[in-house]
Structure 1
Amino acid sequence: MWHEAAEDLVFIKEIIKPPEAQEESSPQYKERLKKKSFLYEIVANERNGIDVDKFDYFARDSYHLGIENNFDHGRFIKFARVCEVDGQKHICTRDKEVNNLYDLFHTRYSLHRRAYQHKVVQIIEHMIAEAFLKADKHIQIEGSEGTMFTLSTAIGDMEAYTKLTDCVFDQILNSTGTEDDLRETREILKKVVDREHYRCLGEIKPEGTPNEDEISQSRKHLAAALPLPREGAEADGLTEEEFEVLAVTLDYGRKEEDPIDSMDFYSKKYPTQVNKKKEQDCPTRWGSKQKMISRIIEQARAIRQVLADDRRASIHLTWQDVDVLKAVNEGLEPVSTFTDALSGDAYVTSSSILPILQLLKEDILAPSESDVELTAQLKSGMLAKLEAKYANDSKTAQKLLRNCTFVDPRYREYYSNLDETKREIETEMIVLGRQTSQVKIRVEEGESTFAQQDAGEEQPAKKKKATLASLLARRAVAARPVLTVVERAHAELVVYTQEDAIDTGENPLQWWKVNETRFPLLSMVARKYLCICASSAASERIFSTAGNTVTPQRAQIKPDKVNMLVFLARNLD
């Protein structure tokens, strides 16, 4: 039993950190590498970086940091299977899971950029490391058999290493003032607690990752750049050792390489045949045609080689074919960005349709001298179809688009017939105002009560001692002129049209939340229009979520339960 337990312990160590060289590995590792190599891709996958370790800390850190994690690890596990690739068994997934895996690496990038390698985090880490280095020789930790270790040597003894917890930080911070050996360390940690961090002087983007010599040279340049003290004045005393240059590398886990290139995929039709990443045209997935063409252009050399090696192949990828694909890609690629933007459901999209159409007409799809004939034909054809579609739309659809754009404080002046739209909006404001005026909202001494206008019974109000503020408020309300719904609607429109447009990068919903009290009637109209999605992509996502919920193994779920599960899946992080 002990021998088997020892082998299991070695196996656990190897799946956490596989041996770098075959000579350092155990015989069992060499045997498993031949028959069950996929076992070493579960915990620490050095082949492509997709492992359960990332699944765990991505979900944990995204939750606690409030950063959105779009990667669905349950879906990946559902489609994962072991396939043989080049004589070894590897974990593969369905070809349609490419975008889900891109979400995984994008989440990694976001966490590193916004948390792990954020400049404040880097500064705090440096300050704590500096403090611990100064305290290294002055703190003794008892290990096994009573041996004493310092902070830097405790890693060599398991008993001492387990005592390296956050209590070391508190021990130094709470040490008495008489302990001069820890005075400098204590001052640094106190600055960390009081948020008196080292000052960040700036950030630059060098070409490539700087080495130690380049970082040292940067320190010298920073120290030399300080202005010399005036004659008779004391020098600042800053030397190059007091500057710190931190190199931060942000990528998707494989430096300049695409991490998905190291992943193998299988298809629904051929579950045992493995292929590399490929984009396929899909009628229900917008932009897939452009992505497929872009991928073929990227892999043109490999495709030619495969076709040349296959004697049975009756087709060949010629340079004329590549030129045609490049021309098509140049025509479709600029539009794909707008397609992705209009497919979102977490932000306002309906009000962006008219501005985007105007931008496409005047800039994106406008003819350019550098366009080849096919690209120019594609652009003119797409523009003609767009103009014909929205010109032939019903008056109701055109009215809807105009109203959506008008109530968005970013784009309300993107079209000419502003007076007609204002009349339509004003009519809706009057209708909504009259509907809501049937219910009075009465505020008495800080408590809100709701009562129907025609109700005979009145809610008994609690008597409270009148305050100076409440007395003055009553006087102000009594002196305020009473406007009709029509007058209020007209006044709100006049003020709204005189407001400055906000930046296109700002959130219009946040703007309306802040200005709702200024435009009570117009805000109700905005709430009605801005919740509309510009495309059916949001509905398609709901259908996909429902399909993942009602599986063949869960086919007996009742409709009301399905509705609740789909609602929770789409609205809970």
Structure 2
Amino acid sequence: MQSFALTVSKTEERHYAEACADHFLNVANEWEIKDKVTTLGTDSARNMVAAARLLPFEHMPCMAHILQSAITVSLNDNAFESALAKCRKIVGHFKHSPANAQELKAQQPAHGHQTEPLDQDVPTRWNSTLEMIKRIQRNKSVLTTILTQQNSKICYRTAGGGERYVSCSMVLPALCHLFWVMEPLDDDPVYAVKFKIVFTTDLAQRRASSNLTWLKIATALDPRFKDLKCLSKDERREVWASVHDLLMAETDAHQPSAQTTEEPSPKKSKMSISLLGSPDSDTEEEEDAIDCCLNLYKAEPKIDTGECPLQWWLKREGAHARLAPIARKYLSTPATTVPCERLFSLSGHIIQKKRASLSSDNVNRIVCLSNWLSAQKD
């Protein structure tokens, strides 16, 4: 799946929900895609959520933003918060001083390390805290040597703080694998138990703002994960019932109305038609056809996680003609707006103090061209 930037627009009014909704519609009308748009992905900001309610699209909150917010809350409310604060001081010591940054760059090859800057974590940037600690760990000997030579007040370790730092470095690499095993285990240390409890509690509160129904249907229509092992048996039945209802609604939408298809005929002809078949029998036949369609898809073998589900549906569109359009609709909806968020970073690199006179049109052209060219290379 690929993403493309359509525009970067300058706004001078306050970002109220109505103004944001108008901007979305203006972009859709400008690119003539309003009738093709099915979903609108945003972060969980209140004005964005309110704007989505004003638009005729399905709203898909960014799941990466929701997870990252829950992780940030869990990290701040834990025993290793002081260790993270110490890591940020170390990073700031080298990032805010060109002389210290140059010394770090010179010392890294001497200690057999790859030349790399330290990374500062940002609450809204995915995995940034993990990356910050990884880089500090990799350059442990270099940082210790430089800080000792400088007699810096920022020491790499202190009594008690070092233990928190070690515990922090042990729990963070496991964050990406803990989302489906967040139940506290008997052999978990205290800090890990507290992290899991806070994380699951905070994430449960955010479930109401996430479009889980859409995501579950998309998972069922993904030939990589259609067994729905991530859900309980009751939830699986609910998901397949939802897919069944979608097929029924799609069938009803494409069926011509009785008023337009029926032609005036003698009473005897109408009576014979009513004897041959009734609305109930037609509905039962349609139900059986839909069940057959779903069973045919369920019988298909799963594909590897590295394969493209949209390509799979494209090749088998003939065998699953009724289900393929619904699958394309749900699978083409990204569950995250990370590519859009990266445009903020790209725009920040372009609009600087020395380029403050750039017009909004030129910024739009530069950002879009950069995005399109990078997508073409990939």
TM-score by length of 1: 0.36
Aligned to 1:382: 199
User: Is residue 245 of structure 2 the alignment partner of residue 424 of structure 1?
Assistant: no
- Corresponding residue to 2:131 among 274, 282, 291: 291
User: Is residue 313 of structure 2 the alignment partner of residue 512 of structure 1?
Assistant: yes
- Contact kept? 2:343, 2:367, Cα under 8 Å: no
Aligned to 1:318: 158
* CA deviation profile, 1:193-226 (whole Å, cap 9, x unmatched): xxxxxxxxxxxxxxxxxxxxxxxxxxxxxxxxxx
- Contact kept? 1:280, 1:288, Cα under 8 Å: yes
* CA deviation profile, 1:64-84 (whole Å, cap 9, x unmatched): xxxxxxxxxxxxxxxxxxxxx
- Contact kept? 1:293, 1:329, Cα under 8 Å: yes
Aligned to 1:411: 225
* C-alpha distance 526-314 of structure 1, shift in aligned 2 (>3 A): closer
- Contact kept? 1:489, 1:522, Cα under 8 Å: no
Tell me the CA shift for residue 559 of structure 1. 8.1
Aligned to 2:275: none
Aligned to 1:397: 211
Aligned to 1:149: none
Q: How does 1:230-249 map to 2 (within 5 A)?
A: none
* C-alpha distance 294-319 of structure 1, shift in aligned 2 (>3 A): farther
Q: How does 1:541-556 map to 2 (within 5 A)?
A: 541-547=342-348, 552=355, 554-555=358-359
SS for the counterpart of 2:125 is coil
Q: How does 1:172-321 map to 2 (within 5 A)?
A: 270=97, 274=102, 275-276=104-105, 277-311=117-151, 313=153, 315=155, 317-318=157-158, 320-321=160-161
Query: Structure 2: which amino acid aligns with 1:418?
Result: R
* C-alpha distance 282-567 of structure 1, shift in aligned 2 (>3 A): closer
Aligned mates of 1:324, 1:547 — CA distance in 2: 35
Aligned mates of 1:527, 1:503 — CA distance in 2: 18
Tell me the CA shift for residue 403 of structure 1. 0.9
The structure where helix makes up a greater share of residues is 2
Query: Structure 1: which amino acid aligns with 2:243?
Result: I
- RMSD of Structure 2 on Structure 1 (CA): 3.9
Aligned to 2:373: 569
Q: Which runs of 5 or more residues in structure 2 are unaligned?
A: 1-92, 106-116, 262-283
Q: Which runs of 5 or more residues in structure 1 are unaligned?
A: 1-265, 339-355, 439-452, 455-482
* C-alpha distance 376-329 of structure 1, shift in aligned 2 (>3 A): farther
Tell me the CA shift for residue 278 of structure 1. 0.9
Q: How does 1:412-491 map to 2 (within 5 A)?
A: 412=226, 413-414=228-229, 415=231, 416=233, 417-435=235-253, 488-491=289-292
Aligned mates of 1:290, 1:519 — CA distance in 2: 43
Report sequence identity in percent: 22
Query: Structure 2: which amino acid aligns with 1:529?
Result: Y
- Contact kept? 1:409, 1:508, Cα under 8 Å: yes
Tell me the CA shift for residue 425 of structure 1. 1.5
Aligned to 1:168: none
Aligned mates of 2:371, 2:292 — CA distance in 1: 40
* C-alpha distance 381-289 of structure 1, shift in aligned 2 (>3 A): same
Determine which structure has more spread, i.e. the larger CA radius of gyration.
Answer: 1
Aligned mates of 2:95, 2:148 — CA distance in 1: 27
Aligned mates of 2:334, 2:236 — CA distance in 1: 23
Aligned mates of 2:359, 2:94 — CA distance in 1: 25
- Contact kept? 1:300, 1:317, Cα under 8 Å: no
SS for the counterpart of 1:290 is helix
Query: Structure 2: which amino acid aligns with 1:533?
Result: P
* CA deviation profile, 1:497-533 (whole Å, cap 9, x unmatched): 3333333343322321222211122111111111222
- Contact kept? 2:217, 2:243, Cα under 8 Å: yes
Aligned to 2:325: 524
- Contact kept? 2:350, 2:363, Cα under 8 Å: no
- Contact kept? 1:542, 1:566, Cα under 8 Å: no
Aligned mates of 2:372, 2:317 — CA distance in 1: 29
* C-alpha distance 374-515 of structure 1, shift in aligned 2 (>3 A): same
Aligned mates of 1:284, 1:400 — CA distance in 2: 24
Tell me the CA shift for residue 494 of structure 1. 2.5
Aligned mates of 1:435, 1:315 — CA distance in 2: 69
Aligned mates of 1:377, 1:410 — CA distance in 2: 34
- Contact kept? 2:351, 2:358, Cα under 8 Å: yes
- Contact kept? 1:512, 1:523, Cα under 8 Å: yes
- Contact kept? 1:278, 1:295, Cα under 8 Å: yes
* CA deviation profile, 1:107-155 (whole Å, cap 9, x unmatched): xxxxxxxxxxxxxxxxxxxxxxxxxxxxxxxxxxxxxxxxxxxxxxxxx
